[in-house]
């Protein structure tokens, strides 16, 4: 009887994995919820840990970061009870990604580096997704050439293992980074190569992220009709798969695009639509970004009162999340606000804060580099690479049916 129950639980678990990879998130949760009580009933801690990690991954895909972290915590606790260090490194990496997407880069780095440390101590190879995630951290701290080093390391590993799906993730991350180094030709080339693979294997969520990043590339090039086309396609698909955080993020991107076009009425509408979605799901980082965008919009018309209100909300949330990147932008806008008010002393003070936050970002990146060097994962001198997207976490280990 126990073998039958175990086989049934594994079947539910594997079905959950398949549904998540197909972006059928509600069905994935249902299968995982069926597997978990059976694994608990038969006291199968290996199955319990994998199921908890699988549920966490679905919540991560849906941008429910707090829920994802709760399930990862429970999975890690279970893994530590049975001494499964190998799978613990994967869950730590997933938890790091959840912290990263919620804006907590320091907690994210701690998880990634702990995962690296365990891999080093056990002599196990580092999963390429961890290099991808470290690349994203460097990207967030605007250390683009360091991030490209990690992304290229991930690309080499995926190509060596002939893992085309994860190769497409690395290609897309490299393409996205090229956007920020303003090498738009290479950005579009890498993103397009990633898209070809993703379409072949039917990864709708990753494909949609490529559309969004192509929209960003064309917007940076000021090719606005192309940018609008790709952003609208991304918005449509994000709505279809239920990724609400990416919906409000894309609405914010469109708000910024129309701001650049001086179509302030449309810009405001996209910002307000995005704010409504982000507040419903408590997506803190997008709330920060949209309030920052609205502040810029109202400053354009010298409406300092409304701008101040939006900036105040954004600043409090960014401080709570310790998002130095957002705080640097907010401080710069506050400086402009004070200048419009004729308060040049305060304007200078906020501009100084802008540079202080940028320095903190740089210090965070440098601390990560030093720790990674100590673990032997990067060289002291970063070679020049020819220049996120948060993709699927490290692949779950599918349990074979009994």
**Tens digit of pLDDT for each residue in 212-253?**
999 999 999 999 999 999 999 999 999 998 888 889 999 999
Angle between helical axes of 85-101 and 65-82 (0-180°, round to 10): 160
Q: Which two tokens stand for residue 343?
A: 């308060």
235's CB contacts (< 8 A; 6+ apart) are 247, 250, 251, 254
Query: What is the spatial distance between Cα 156 and Cα 167, in angstroms, rounded to a whole number?
Result: 8
Query: What is the spatial distance between Cα 202 and Cα 205, in angstroms, rounded to a whole number?
Result: 9
What per-residue confidence (pLDDT) applies to 61?
Answer: 87
What per-residue confidence (pLDDT) applies to 369?
Answer: 55
- For the stretch 247-306, pLDDT in tens is 999 999 999 999 999 999 999 999 999 999 999 988 888 999 999 999 999 988 888 889
User: Is the CB of residue 70 less than 8 Å from the CB of residue 78?
Assistant: no
Res. 105: pLDDT tops 90: no
User: Is the CB of residue 248 less than 8 Å from the CB of residue 277?
Assistant: yes
| HEC readout, 274-291 | HHHHHHHCCCHHHHHHHH
Torsion sign, CA atoms 243, 247, 253, 257: positive
Q: Which residue has the tokens 């894309």?
A: 250
Q: Which two tokens stand for residue 149?
A: 């080093």
Query: What is the spatial distance between Cα 37 and Cα 225, in angstroms, rounded to a whole number?
Result: 51
Query: What is the maximal distance between C-alpha atoms in the chain?
Result: 79
User: Is the CB of residue 92 less than 8 Å from the CB of residue 112?
Assistant: yes
- For the stretch 113-169, pLDDT in tens is 888 889 888 888 887 878 888 888 888 777 888 889 889 989 998 999 888 888 999
pLDDT average, residue stretch 26-47? 94
Nearest C-alpha neighbor of 95 from the set 122, 124, 121, 65: 65
Query: What is the spatial distance between Cα 74 and Cα 2, in angstroms, rounded to a whole number?
Result: 24
Supply the mean pLDDT for the chain: 85
Query: What is the spatial distance between Cα 337 and Cα 391, in angstroms, rounded to a whole number?
Result: 37
Query: What is the spatial distance between Cα 7 and Cα 12, in angstroms, rounded to a whole number?
Result: 9
Structure letter (DSSP) for residue 141: T
Res. 370: pLDDT tops 60: no
- Please report, rounded to a whole number, the percentage of residues in the chain having pLDDT higher than 90: 48
Query: What is the spatial distance between Cα 402 and Cα 399, in angstroms, rounded to a whole number?
Result: 9
Nearest C-alpha neighbor of 69 from the set 42, 103, 116: 103
Res. 374: pLDDT tops 60: no
- For the stretch 53-80, pLDDT in tens is 999 999 998 888 899 999 999 999 999 9
75's CB contacts (< 8 A; 6+ apart) are 48, 49, 50, 52, 53, 56, 91
Separation in Å, CA 103 to CA 63, 65, 96, 106: 12, 10, 11, 9
User: Considering the entire predicted model, what is its pTM?
Assistant: 0.67
Nearest C-alpha neighbor of 17 from the set 46, 61, 51, 64: 51
Res. 348: pLDDT tops 70: yes
Cite the beta strand spans of 209-269 per DSSP E.
Answer: none
Query: What is the spatial distance between Cα 314 and Cα 278, in angstroms, rounded to a whole number?
Result: 13
């Amino acid at each position: 009887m126990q073998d039958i129950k175990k086989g049934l639980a594994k079947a539910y678990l594997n079905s959950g994995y398949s549904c998540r990879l197909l972006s059928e998130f509600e069905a994935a949760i249902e299968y995982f919820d069926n597997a978990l009580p059976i694994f608990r009933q038969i006291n199968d801690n290996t199955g319990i840990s994998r199921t908890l990690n699988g549920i966490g991954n679905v919540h991560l895909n849906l941008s429910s970061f707090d829920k994802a972290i709760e399930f990862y915590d429970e999975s890690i606790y279970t893994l530590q009870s049975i001494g499964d260090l190998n799978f613990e490194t994967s869950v730590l990496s997933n938890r790091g990604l959840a912290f990263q997407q919620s804006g907590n880069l320091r907690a994210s780095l701690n998880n990634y580096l702990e995962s690296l440390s365990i891999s080093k101590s056990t002599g196990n190879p580092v999963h390429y997704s961890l290099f991808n995630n470290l690349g994203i951290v460097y990207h967030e701290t605007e250390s683009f050439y360091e991030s490209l080093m990690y992304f290229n390391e991930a690309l080499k590993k995926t190509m060596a293992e002939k893992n085309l799906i994860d190769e497409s993730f690395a290609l897309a991350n490299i393409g996205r980074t090229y956007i920020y180094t303003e090498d738009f030709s290479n950005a579009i080339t890498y993103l397009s190569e990633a898209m070809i693979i993703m379409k072949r294997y039917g990864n709708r969520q990753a494909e949609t992220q490529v559309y969004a990043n192509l929209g960003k590339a064309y917007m940076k090039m000021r090719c606005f009709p192309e940018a609008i086309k790709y952003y609208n396609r991304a918005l449509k698909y994000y709505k279809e798969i239920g990724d609400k955080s990416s919906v409000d993020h894309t609405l914010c991107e469109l708000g910024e695009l129309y701001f650049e076009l001086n179509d302030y009425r449309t810009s405001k509408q996209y910002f307000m639509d995005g704010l409504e979605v982000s507040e419903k799901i408590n997506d803190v980082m997008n709330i920060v970004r949209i309030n920052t965008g609205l502040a810029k919009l109202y400053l354009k018309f010298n409406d300092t009162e409304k701008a101040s209100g939006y900036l105040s909300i954004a600043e409090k949330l960014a401080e709570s999340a310790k998002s130095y990147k957002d705080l640097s932008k907010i401080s710069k806008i506050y400086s402009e606000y004070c200048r419009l008010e004729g308060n040049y002393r305060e304007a200078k003070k906020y501009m100084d804060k802008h540079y202080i936050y940028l320095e903190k970002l740089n210090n965070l990146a440098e601390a990560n580099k030093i720790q990674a060097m100590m673990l032997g994962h990067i060289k002291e001198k970063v070679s020049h690479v020819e220049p996120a997207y948060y993709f699927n976490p490290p692949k779950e280990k599918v349990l074979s049916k009994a």
